[in-house]
Structure 1
């Protein structure tokens, strides 16, 4: 599966700072100092309704991670999946009378268009669940043969007790895990399971649903968590730098994925940091497909909204915060974009070397994008209030905003 084209990232003078980031598993801020190549895995969409502002906020956060690392002169090995077969996708296709493969392809194509418009840097490997099945099957077989998984009426479940570190990603108690499992695709009440929290690794073929050859597992399709594990291990290996996604993925998805990988390899941890973006609400409610209250990037673009303004609206909130999308948020972003563009359109201006370092400092501090925006605002206000004579300043500000914030002025 192909990703989307990369926008050029301008080179800035000097060198950026190592990233300090909040790690869900330790509940604190850690400093990541990767080697020459930083490794990141971000969970992708289930393509039945893309791309809403909640998606965009999440991928914007991890785009900032890439940009901070690139500014430190590192390479970035970024992997993202597409869950192009799963219950929600099949249910939506059945409801709307569409072929599920056509629905997945259409929504994935739209997602690529939105990511390109928003100047999100693409992953080096963009892998669909279906194309990953040949690599998933042997992992499930290994877990079963090692006693870390078991069969139940033809389905194969992972035993969470096989990983002594289970629970260390989300740090939730058993009751909270059980409630979230029921809400987020698990089946804690299914009779016969060894532990209510045990997640499915391989679903035996159901009538009327797609299935694939699973070797000794029989025909079926993979569970949600093992999909990302297979892709991450294949392209990044264990101990990569960041496992990322929305905060609703901490449990069960990232918790279960970490346990799968750790039981398979005997190594710990799967990722050095588990990083989660906050949720976006609309009219006081979390934006979600089930509520039908989604604001789509493509719809905003079709209405004439500049993608740079959408990106500035996302950047105006700290990535870990839950926040609400409103007309005011967008209007403020559009006004900011207009001010910034006017300021850098002047032939000269106030020196901007200090601004570069302010933006770097803000982003290295747990991706504090609002602080970075405030730094640019201060330069713009000063630029508009005085006559500078540095001919290189407007260009440097434009390159800084582009390279570190992904906004083209």
Structure 2
């Protein structure tokens, strides 16, 4: 593997063993050369021997003198290396078409709802380029990144950190359960649609990356098993579940709705510590009400700031500071770019938390039931209205209006309060 490469765009020689690649005047250079092949000029990086007019062993074997950058373990450390194209996987024409169609769909949806959207938005200092930058009514910036080709986790984290430095919340979109971007930054996963379907008005649902908070008391009658003991423990549990695994089941969120909901702050990104490895974290988009309730229970344990490296069990790249070796190393390159990767988007609940006493703030109903303050005539009128004996009239447990509170077929709360409670809109008292 070569430790140097020639950048044909800037006309410079890059030293991959230096943190600034030998060119501090180009602060975004590393991101540029790590971009997927389908998103940059294929002839951007050139073999040093070929550039010097010497024999390029790759070209001599009727292969390409052009190169790409990846990582390799050397003497126990992870380093950057340059290898000759073609790569094991590069963006196909269909992948590029899907990437373009997703950007257009996001921008179109945002503009239809009165939001500002810029495609290929470049920051004022030119250091970052966002696929689609959506601006909410309150100035919230959501940077959508449609990722249909391979990308390294380090690139995802680096680009997400730079987005955060510019006040942008990154939102990566993938169609693969094994994508390296999953849990490296705020993300969602969609179905594997063709570019034509993406560009159409067909509903696109988010299949991964959005979760809802579930809180329950662990009793023998509970519909969920105890996540700690397997049997009823009598304590409270909370965790983040996919919509289809919530009780009751929640509908999936459409991509078009997420475009608006993320910009308006209805959905927000959070991270929770890994359930098996506390050094890792799971990223997800959640309803803001669920996030507030979660914070009431456990506190803001982890922020959504992508600069935190807690979610990075991967090894950091080491820059050894060596001299450039200009010799073409074609034939010695044994790197397989796309190794078989485990499934990263899993259906398991995450952020499971067990507690003995529920915080007062998570109670939905008031701690003290309202009293019924009506006249005898009003009580009789209510009994006639509900068709029950007068002694079965009592106060709604939430707002206090007279209802059929006691006896057979009675209810704890009035109809409007039950409806509001079902939608989690009852004010806390």
TM range (shorter): under 0.3
Q: Which protein shows a greater Rg?
A: 2
Question: If the length of structure 1 is used for normalisation, what is the TM-score?
Answer: 0.22
Give 1 or 2: higher strand fraction: 2
Ranked by relative contact order (alpha carbons within 8 Å, sequence separation 6 or more), the top structure is: 1
Give 1 or 2: higher helix fraction: 1
Question: If the length of structure 2 is used for normalisation, what is the TM-score?
Answer: 0.21
